[in-house]
Amino acid sequence: MKVKLEDLLLLVAKYDKFSLAKIKKAYLYATDKHSHQFRESGEPYIIHPLSVALILAQLNADADTICAGLLHDVIEDTDTKKEEIIEEFGETVATLVMGVTNLTKMSFYDKKTIDNANLRKLILGMTKDVRIIIIKLADRLHNMMTLQYKKNVLKQQAKSIETMEIYVPIAQYLGLDNIKTELEDRCFMYLKPENYKEISEIRNNLEKRTENLKKEVILKINKILNYHNIDSEVRFRLKGIYSIFKCFLKNENLDEIHDLLAFIVVLNDIDDCYISLRYIHENFKHIPKYLKDYIGQPKQNLYRAVHTTVVGPNNKLIQMQLKTHNMDQIAQYGITEFWHDDIKNGTSKMQESLKTQYPLFRSIIEANKMANNNQEFVNLLKGELAEKIEVLANDGNIIEIAEGSTPIDFAYKIHSELGNNMAAALVNGNYVAFNYPLKKGDRVRIITDISATGPTEEWLHWSVTERAHKKIREFLNHQKRDLHLTRSP
């Protein structure tokens, strides 16, 4: 990828022309510091931090974040000290660079080298300034884009596993869908190269075959909405390579993937979303089970839209995603949408939103409170980042829970007392065993009884999440202590 400083400056000039001098200074500083270093591709090292900065600029990142992106390796890879960064670029840039540097040094999975105390400190530090993890995501994305130059296959796979299990979920939880999809596909390419090649060919052929369908559907949607005087923008999205692979793992064939072909319909306001849904259903046969109202019930990364799957030309299933301009911006940029809305105050708004609206932040804080030691914190965090499914609580709220979870995990996800007093569980109105594996879309109701005997050792085998295991062990240990005191003379 040929990148130049001019590319970065042109991109930043579109939203923050007053910061160009500072960014250019950071680039020249980084170029000088890395002047004798080269990447495994043979390119000058500066290509990497410049590429990271470009990824950040595509998110409308503020000047300090872009400068930190340009400088993120100077402390780790050169003899530069933090004090020098403070003197040249200010305390904020230096703090961001140090945050990324320390995070880069951490191995999330190497039990021999991991320092759980530092990892805990760093993860909690990210909640104080989310820009650290956003820079790290950009850094990891460019590293994955150039991973082919790392010739050791085992190192490629180790990097891909860590990326898939840690950075992909973080990108998803922060709403950075484009970064999440790109990271997933890159990891898939190294972890399952034969499958990747096969599905890439399928997807490429599908893209060519659906060109006429795409034009026909966009034309029809525009015609329907124009007739009713509804302004709209319509674009097409084809499901990613790894996402298609996951559908195949569930034994779905290509024609059964209901959101394989998606049309994003961007409208002026919420009323237009629901009115347009009516007109689309009048003109296309829809599949009721795939109707999802994420406007009334937003996803945990604040994604909002109404989704419906209809039967399109040639009996192809196609998904319609109806959303406002603001919802569309959040769908594309996630938490960094605040930079697009207000570059001056976007960072402070982003941090406040992280604390008040994003469950990831609350999960980290809860894990910190629950954990009795650093290893427990790491285990809880990994559990929070595991693959999730969405189920419905009895009050209609959407709850994200680890794939493979049972009613026990669900109960402890809601509240400890709900788990400890659980007497029965209903899923979709039917009584189920406590070890029943929940599925996406299940409606779950927990029935409690204050006289219930509480969890037993078996519950540890009937649940999958670290949170549930911790709460069950606490209950059992407390029970043993009470029994011991009762028997003591």
Q: What share of the chain is helix, strand, coil (3-state, %, to 5)?
A: 60, 10, 25
The token pair that represents 264 in the structure block: 């994003």
Helix pair 131-145, 47-57: axis angle to 10 deg:
120
**Integer Cα distance of 295 and 400 in angstroms:** 17
Q: Which residues are CB-contacts of 43 (< 8 A; sequence separation ≥ 6)? A: none
From the list 7, 43, 76, 252, the catalytic residue is 76
Q: Write the burial class of residue 202 (CB in 10 Å: 0-12 exposed, 13-18 middle, 19+ buried).
A: middle
**Active site annotation includes 77:** yes
Roughly how many angstroms between the first and final C-alpha of the chain, as a whole number? 77
Distance CA 216, CA 465 (A): 46
Q: Pairing state of beta strands 232-238 and 261-267? A: antiparallel
The closest of 111, 191, 108 to 144, measured between CA atoms, is 191
Candidates 404, 421, 403; CA nearest to 412 is 421
Other residues' Cβ atoms within 10 Å of the Cβ of residue 396:
9
Q: Which two tokens stand for residue 108?
A: 């999330």
Catalytic residue among 6, 7, 73, 77: 77
Sign of CA dihedral 176, 250, 466, 437: positive
Spatial distance between the Cα atoms of 162 and 417, rounded to a whole number of angstroms: 34
**Dihedral over alpha carbons 438, 444, 450, 456 (to 10 degrees):** 0
State the maximum Cα–Cα separation within the chain, in Å, rounded to a whole number. 86
**Is 87 among the residues known to form the active site?**
no
Whole-angstrom Cα distance, residue 120 to residue 195?
36
Supply the residues annotated as catalytic: 76-77
